[in-house]
Copies of this chain bind each other. A is one copy, B any other.
C-alpha cells in the first residue's frame, strides 16, 4: 500500500478539496502569512496531509473570533519558538474571554429565536391564545426579552 514511505504531496487544488477551502483562499492565507507551503523546483505549491491539521486548527481559532491579523501574529510568535509562549497564551486568553461573552449573548439570542418559533407555531395550531402576545409568552416562560 505504500502508506508511509513518503508523505503524499497535494497540489493546491487537491489540497483545497481536503481542507474545504478554495485555491484562491489558500493563496490568500499564504499572502497574509498564515501558511507557507512547500514549492516544487518549478514554483508549484504543494502541501502534505499534516498541513491540513494545522489549517483546521487555525480555522477553529478563526471561528472563535480571531481575525486573520491575529492569526498571523500567532503564527509569527509560534515560529519564534518557546520564548513567545506567554504572548501566545495572552492572545488566546483574550480571544477566549471575548468569545465567552459573545457566546453567552448568542445563547440568549438562540433562546429568543426558539421561543419566537414556538410562539408562532402555538398560535397557528391553537395551543396559544390569540390574546397572548410574544412579550407575555416570554414572561410566562420566565425568559428575558
Contacts and interface: CB of A to CB of B under 8 A. Distances in A.
Given A56-B145, A63-B105, A64-B109, A85 B117 contact: no
A51 interface: no
Contacts of A56: 145
A110 B64 contact: yes
How many copies altogether? 2
Given A85-B123, A123-B85, A113 B60 contact: yes
Given A85-B124, A145-B56, A64 B113 contact: yes
Interface in A91-145: 92-93, 95-96, 99, 103, 105-106, 108-110, 112-114, 116-117, 120-121, 123-124, 134-135, 145
Given A113-B92, A120-B88, A106 B53 contact: no
B96 A117 contact: yes
8 contacts: A53-B145, A57-B112, A61-B113, A85-B120, A89-B121, A92-B113, A96-B113, A96-B114
